[in-house]
Amino acid sequence: MNMARVDFFAGAFLCVFGIVIYFAAPLTVDEYNEMGLTPSSFPCALSAAIAVLSALLCWNGWRNRDRDAVRQGVDDGAEDGESHASPTPYVIAAIAVMGLYIVGMPLFGYLLATSATLLMLSIIYGNRRWRGLVIAAAVAPPALFFFFQEVMIILLPEASLF
């Protein structure tokens, strides 16, 4: 089975799963509303995000259904004389970066540590679109910081070194 079909079916399955959880989450918890958010708010938000992102994955698989079959035929001819690199060094490097992230977050704070980790993990896994990397590292951590700090009222670590 080619990757476009896998994306399509995995996206469809996860989209249905997200929709089911979205409607089932409020039924499983009591409606306690002291600060504006109910206990089902976070599961509903996560399931909505899963449903939307899975629908995008499904659409991407459907959109690439013909391209993937052609690419697979070209790759089959090229694989005869080539060997593929093992993913093990990349996994070890990612684990090391996450260990540094855990150690560095209390020292450098959430924003700086998360930005650096996003950059390092993207580079480890081969992303060389520098403009996109810098934009993602500059926009995603502050957006997540605002979401957790202001919306979910979860305090994130601040820098202790400075």
Dmax over CA atoms of the chain, in Å, equals 65
Q: Which residues contact 7 (CB under 8 A, 6 or more apart)?
A: 57, 58, 60, 61, 64
Instruction: Give the Cα separation of 65 and 5 in Å (integer).
Output: 7
**Domain's final residue, options 27, 51, 78:** 78
Q: What is the mean pLDDT of residues 126-138?
A: 87
Position 83 in a domain = no
CA separation, residue 80 to residues 11, 27, 85 (Å): 32, 55, 14
Domain of residue 147, residue span: 88-151
Same domain, 146 and 95: yes
C-alpha 17, offset from chain centre: 17
Give the torsion sign (CA, 130, 11, 87, 144): positive
Query: pTM for this one?
Result: 0.53
Q: What is the pLDDT of residues 28-72, one digit of tens each?
A: 776 666 666 677 778 888 899 999 999 998 998 888 878 755 565
Q: What is the pLDDT of residues 1-25, one digit of tens each?
A: 588 888 888 889 999 999 998 888 8
Same domain, 72 and 115: no
Same domain, 60 and 93: no
Number of domains in the chain: 2
- According to the model, what pLDDT value does residue 120 have? 92
- According to the model, what pLDDT value does residue 132 have? 86
Same domain, 64 and 44: yes
Same domain, 67 and 16: yes
Amino acid type, 137: A
Share of the chain above pLDDT 70, in %: 83
